[in-house]
Structure 1
Amino acid sequence: MILYGARPSPFVRKVIVFAAEKGIDLEVQPGGFGQGGEAFAQASPFGKIPGFQDGDFLISDSTAIITYLDTLHPEPNLIPTEARARARTIWYEEFGDTIVQATGMPIFFNRMVAPLLGMPQDLAAANAAEADKLPGLYDYLDRVLPESGFLVEDRFTLADIAVACPLMNICYCSAVLKEGRWPRVRDWLQQMRERPSFAAALAAEAKAIERMAAA
């Protein structure tokens, strides 16, 4: 199985962590930004990362890829089967993929990605997102996080993966969470970073993040 994309992408990382938790070996190859060649173009005709290949099966979008992997390898269970827990897990994945990512994109892109690509930075947009929208996300998570430290069913699920991945990108270039106002979110995110699947993914992308920071 081949996963095409840039490791620091929250969507690529989400699939990498999910697969690692399932014990699935993925070969990660560059994709997007002019990379990946014909295989990536066929897997992702609109250039969306990650792209995915399993033999002659080609598809893109992290949720679609995770659905495929989960169907082939249902254990360990990371998407609850109980109706309410399953619905909450899907909500948190949507929350991470759209709301958190939409908030974090101007912060991460303008502070980390744009300089690496030689593109103009809109630091005003980054600062506005950080000041006006990011606190609301942390307020929400600090309110809904259970005492167990997991978002759904008091155990590690796709919900934790999907929300943590874009927040990790934000924290690469924003110190807001360190202010101490949201201790539950801070502790939960640190717990995610220390989990072996996340720790391995973050270590593998460390050089790319260093290049971004240096730019």
Structure 2
Amino acid sequence: MILYGMRPSPFVRKVLFYLEEKGIDFELRPAGLGIGGEEFAKASPFGKFPALVDGDFSISDSSAIVHYLETLYPEPNLIPTEAKARARAVWFDEFADTVLFATGGKIFFNRIVAPKFMKISGDLAAADAAERNELPRLLDYIEGVLPDSGFLIEDRLTLADIAVASPLINLAYCCPPMDSATHPRLCRWLNMLKTRPAFASVLEEERPLIEAMATQPELVL
């Protein structure tokens, strides 16, 4: 099983968390932003990453990939089977991929991806405006829906936690730390997830790139 993509994309990270939590063997190959070659192009005809190749089957899009993995490897169960819980898991996955990423992407792209990877100037005013005007409402929402258990659904780790945590980790790389006074549940939840072995392993693998982002004005893919 081959996963095409690049760290630290939140979509790639979501699938990496999923693979590690499931204990599935895989190979990560760099792809995206002009790299990846013919095999990646076949797996993802529109250049969307991540893309997964499993034998003669290929699929792109992180949500499609995790649903494929969940069907093949149902244990440990990460997508609830009860109707209401399953619907909420799908909602949180969509919220993370669209609503949260729409804001976080403006910040991360303009502060990190554009100047560091694409070697172009980012729109820092747009990033600042998104952090100031859009992000607080999203953090307040997550804070308000987190239950006492510390997990978003069913008092256990699910796709919901994996999906929402992935873009928040990107924001931690380019925004001031979240305030534990105003978002105590959110801070506890994210810190708890980061200590899970699967999460910690993925984050340790991306650490060299994150350190390079902090010290190098440009990065070569």
Q: Per the shorter chain, which TM-score range? A: over 0.9
Instruction: Tell me whether 1:26 sits opposite 2:26 in the alignment.
Output: yes
Runs of 4+ in 1 over 6 A off after TM superposition: none
Instruction: Letter of the 1:132 partner, please give it.
Output: N
1:42 shift after superposition: 0.3
Q: Distance in 1 between matches of 2:211 and 2:111?
A: 13
- The Cα shift of 1:74 comes to 0.5
User: Percent identity over the alignment?
Assistant: 60
Structure 1 contact 96–163 (Cα < 8 Å) conserved: yes
1:196 corresponds in structure 2 to 197
Question: Structure 2: how far apart are the matches of 1:7 and 1:100?
Answer: 18
Deviation at 1:60, TM superposition (A): 0.5
1:83 aligned partner: 83
Superposition deviation, residue 174 in structure 1: 0.6
Q: How many residues align?
A: 215
Contact 1:17 1:201 in 2 (8 A): yes
Unaligned runs of 5+ in 1: none
Question: Structure 1, residues 157-191: CA drift from partner, whole Å, max 9, x if none?
Answer: 00000000001101111115136311111111111
The two structures, once aligned, show a CA RMSD in angstroms of 1.0
> 1:113·1:212 contact (CA, 8 Å) conserved in 2?
no
> Counterpart of 2:74?
74
Deviation digits for residues 101-122 of structure 1 (CA, Å, limit 9, x no counterpart): 1110011111111121211111
Distance between the aligned counterparts of 2:69 and 2:182, measured in 1? 37
3-state SS in 2 of match to 1:39: helix
Q: Which letter does structure 2 place at the counterpart of 1:22? A: K
Q: Deviations over 1:79-99 (max 9, x none)?
A: 000011001111000011111
Q: Is the 8 A contact 1:151 1:159 kept in 2?
A: yes
- Aligned partners of 1:156, 1:125: CA distance in 2, in Å? 34
2:180 and 2:187 in contact (8 A); partners too: no
Where does residue 53 of structure 1 map in the other structure?
53
**Residue 169 (structure 1) aligns with:** 170
Q: Does 1:207 align with 2:208?
A: yes
Deviation at 1:138, TM superposition (A): 0.9
For residues 64 and 179 of structure 1, the distance between their equivalents in structure 2, rounded to whole angstroms, comes to 34
Q: Which residue of structure 2 aligns with residue 133 of structure 1? A: 134
Q: Which amino acid aligns with 2:199?
A: F
Q: Following the alignment from structure 1 to structure 2, what is the Cα–Cα distance between the partners of residues 91 and 126?
A: 26
Aligned-partner residue type, residue 155 of structure 2 = D
Tell me, yes or no, if the aligned pair for 1:2 and 1:29 is still in contact at 8 Å. yes
Instruction: Determine if the alignment matches structure 1 residue 142 to structure 2 residue 143.
Output: yes
Structure 2 segments unaligned to the other structure (5+ residues): none
Deviates more, 1:203-212 or 1:102-111: 203-212
Report the AA paired with residue 103 of structure 2.
Answer: T
CA distance in 2, matches of 1:26, 1:35: 19
Letter of the 2:190 partner, please give it: L
